[in-house]
């Protein structure tokens, strides 16, 4: 489990395609404190550390993961948001995030708003019912509050700090992002329509 509070901004160092795909990332984490087998959310996708060294770690992604997330389009140099798994007693600064990506969205436009930026995203049709004004959503692993919703389009405000320390600073109209809907919304929808 994660909170959607990004604790490191790294990038893809190497990609090896051999059966599954292995990604090696540059990271600012002290890897002495990260165990082999630990979970790290990489742009919102929970992945397992299989190798590590000073300033880097490697994960393995299946074809399923590549097809349902943005990972399949990553290249060497792609910036990546990282969050270590939550430990009991940690501050829950965002919202409960599982690290299971529900779909891929697209940046429609980015508009300056004061010192912040308003981002608008197009979501897949099957996810739009889970996005609600003032609800939570994780975008590339970042916990955010939804400001506006119209059909399959929603908007969020990104403050300067978040813009500077996450991948939001590198997004452009047309960029693809990993989306995880709010866990509570998912279960409420299931309870309301158990046969759907």
Question: Do the Cβ atoms of 75 and 95 come closer than 8 Å?
Answer: no
Closest CA to 176 of 88, 35, 60, 67: 67
Taking 70 as the threshold, does the pLDDT of residue 133 lie above it? yes
The pTM (predicted TM-score) of the whole model is 0.93
Taking 70 as the threshold, does the pLDDT of residue 196 lie above it? no
Kindly report, residue by residue over 70-128, the tens digit of the pLDDT. 999 999 999 999 999 987 777 777 788 899 999 999 999 999 999 999 999 999 999 99
Residue 180: is it exposed, middle or buried by C-beta count within 10 angstroms (0-12/13-18/19+)? buried
CATH 2.40.30.20 residue ranges for the chain: 8-84, 103-192
Q: What is the pLDDT at residue 188?
A: 74
CATH (residue range 8-84): 2.40.30.20
Residue 115: is it exposed, middle or buried by C-beta count within 10 angstroms (0-12/13-18/19+)? exposed
Kindly report, residue by residue over 17-71, the tens digit of the pLDDT. 988 999 999 999 999 999 999 999 999 999 999 999 999 999 999 999 999 999 9
Kindly report, residue by residue over 142-178, the tens digit of the pLDDT. 999 999 999 999 999 999 999 999 999 999 999 999 9
pLDDT band at 190 (very low <50, low <70, confident <90, very high): low
pLDDT band at 192 (very low <50, low <70, confident <90, very high): confident
Q: What is the pLDDT at residue 67?
A: 95
Tell me which fold the domain 103-192 belongs to: Elongation Factor Tu (Ef-tu); domain 3 (2.40.30)
Kindly report, residue by residue over 177-187, the tens digit of the pLDDT. 999 998 777 77
Q: What is the pLDDT at residue 112?
A: 96
Write down the residue that tokens 């508009």 correspond to. 111
Q: What is the average pLDDT value for the chain, to the nearest integer?
A: 93
Question: Do the Cβ atoms of 140 and 44 come closer than 8 Å?
Answer: yes
């Amino acid at each position: 489990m994660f909170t959607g509070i990004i604790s490191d901004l790294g990038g893809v160092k190497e990609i090896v395609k051999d059966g599954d795909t292995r990604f090696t990332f540059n990271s600012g984490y002290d890897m002495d404190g990260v165990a082999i087998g630990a979970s790290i959310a990489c742009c919102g996708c929970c992945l397992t550390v299989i190798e590590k060294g000073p300033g880097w770690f490697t994960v393995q992604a299946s074809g399923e993961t590549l097809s349902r997330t943005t990972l399949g389009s990553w290249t060497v140099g792609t910036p990546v948001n990282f969050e270590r798994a939550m430990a009991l007693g940690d501050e829950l600064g965002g919202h409960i995030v599982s690290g299971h990506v529900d779909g891929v969205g697209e940046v429609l436009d980015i508009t300056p708003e004061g010192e912040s930026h308003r981002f608008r995203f197009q979501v897949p049709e099957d996810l739009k019912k889970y996005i609600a004004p003032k609800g939570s959503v994780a975008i590339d692993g970042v916990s955010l509050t939804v400001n506006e919703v119209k059909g399959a389009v929603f908007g969020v405000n990104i403050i300067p700090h978040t813009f500077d320390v996450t991948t939001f600073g590198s997004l452009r109209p047309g960029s693809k992002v990993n989306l995880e809907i709010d866990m509570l919304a998912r279960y409420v929808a299931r309870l309301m329509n158990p046969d759907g």
